Amino acid sequence: MNPFLVVDNLAVDYEAPDRRVRALDGVDLTVEPGETVGIVGESGSGKSTLGSAVGRLLPQNAQSVAGTMSVDGEEVFGLSIGGMRRLRRERLGFIFQDPIGSLDPTKRVGAQLKLALRGRGSAPDVARHLERVKLPDPRRVARAYPHQLSGGMAQRVAIAIAMASEPELLVADEPTAALDSQVRDDVLSVVFTLAAEAGSGILWLSHDLAAVGRRCARVAVMYGGRVVEDGPAAEVLARPAHPYTDALAGSAPAAAAPGERLQPVPGRPPVLTGPSPGCAFADRCRFAVQRCAVERPRPVRVRTQDVLCHRAAELAESGALAAHAPPPSRMAPVPVPVGEETT
């Protein structure tokens, strides 16, 4: 079976008034049908640009300058406008960070869900889809406008719309970032349950390493617009093979014992104006050598991971990188009554 999503050396630039900024600098990634893949990394690593590129939803000042991206064999940046709309409508689903902003403020929820059902949804069909996302009074919600909903309710509606056509790949860009911590896990459970029932793959862009480790089969770590480590979630997060992954895992709250001070990743992510001449992490890496600054690393295989690091094999053999506790097994979330969602 061929991968559903194939990203091959993709580079994307943003045109600013005074300069060009490179957001993706040669991304390589595949997602198999039905696979759950978490994309992690600091802000500015390129996660959101990659997620938007899957549906060709980049802003007008963004341009694909190299490489390719294909969805089920169709080249995303080569499709006509009509072909791209068809691909989004029939094969892809999207959940964005801002639940209220992702909904049409001028239409009732039921009308928006009918559009996602291609105009063929009756009132009972709309209610059924809202029930699937654990909204206990779906008929009332269907009659509401987005501004009449809490953040948690609005995000459940957005999930219902995204999953109405049972997409083959769901792109979720920090879908719980704007929600109260009390409802985040419940909303994520809805996303992953519906995707599993539909056989949909998930590309989840997130800062929450522990949550990604609990829910995703694979993790791809992004830095400087490239995927620097890719492999099984349990291995990547517990036994990282790239110095950046090691630093990122060590800075996560889940990695610290009670009372222990977190160790942030030193320095700041780079702002690239073109292809990085070497490893983009070299200035922040305690293992960097002269070669790292002038030669772009190529993928090497370390255990079960594909890694962009000149010294990956050497570091793995020496045990220089820390072993991190694996994320705790997920407990069944406690359903939150809709009336108690305050965000």
Q: Which carries the bigger pLDDT value, residue 212 or residue 120?
A: 212
Does residue 333 register a pLDDT over 70?
Answer: no
Q: What is the pLDDT of residue 290?
A: 95
Does an H or E element contain 228, and which?
strand 226-232
Task: Write the pLDDT tens digit of every residue in 210-260.
Answer: 899 999 999 999 999 999 999 999 999 999 999 999 999 988 776 566 767
d(CA 85, CA 107): 21
Of 4-18, 79-93, 216-230, 246-260, minimum mean pLDDT range = 246-260
AA letter at 17: P
AA letter at 141: V
- The torsion angles phi and psi of 271, rounded to 5 degrees, stand at -110, 105
Token readout for 171 is 């792109």
Q: What is the pLDDT of residue 151?
A: 86
Radius of gyration of the chain (CA): 21
Alpha carbon distances (Å) from 157 to 141, 145, 203: 9, 11, 19
Dihedral over Cα of 230, 232, 236, 237: its sign = positive
d(CA 160, CA 142): 11
Q: Which carries the bigger pLDDT value, residue 233 or residue 340?
A: 233
Q: At what angle do helices 151-163 and 181-198 cross, to 10 degrees?
A: 10
Give 98: exposed, middle or buried? Use CB within 10 Å, 0-12, 13-18, 19+: middle
Of 8-22, 120-134, 237-251, minimum mean pLDDT range = 120-134
The whole-number average pLDDT for the span 69-93 is: 95
The whole-number average pLDDT for the span 164-172 is: 95
Does residue 339 register a pLDDT over 70?
Answer: no
Residue whose C-alpha is closest to residue 130's, from 90, 157, 154:
157
Instruction: DSSP letter for 147, please.
Output: G
Q: At what angle do helices 151-163 and 123-132 cross, to 10 degrees?
A: 110
Tell me which long-range contacts 63-66 makes (C-beta under 8 A, separation of at least 24): 63/12, 63/13, 63/14, 63/15, 64/10, 64/11, 64/12, 65/11, 65/12, 65/13, 66/9, 66/10, 66/11, 66/26
What kind of fold does domain 1-343 have according to CATH?
Rossmann fold (3.40.50)
CA–chain centroid gap for 309, Å, is 23
The whole-number average pLDDT for the span 42-64 is: 95
Token readout for 47 is 């996660």
Q: Where would I find the H helices in the chain?
A: 47-54, 81-91, 109-116, 123-132, 138-143, 151-163, 181-198, 209-215, 233-238, 243-251, 290-294, 312-318
pLDDT band at 121 (very low <50, low <70, confident <90, very high): low
Length of the chain equals 343
Token readout for 28 is 């390589």
Name beta bridge partners: 74.
Answer: 71
pLDDT over 70, % of the chain: 92
Q: Where are the domains of the chain?
A: 1-343
d(CA 338, CA 343): 11
pTM of the model: 0.90
Mean of all residue pLDDT scores within the chain:
90
Residue whose C-alpha is closest to residue 46's, from 66, 24, 28:
24
Alpha carbon distances (Å) from 68 to 28, 64, 73, 84, 327: 9, 9, 11, 15, 34
d(CA 126, CA 137): 12
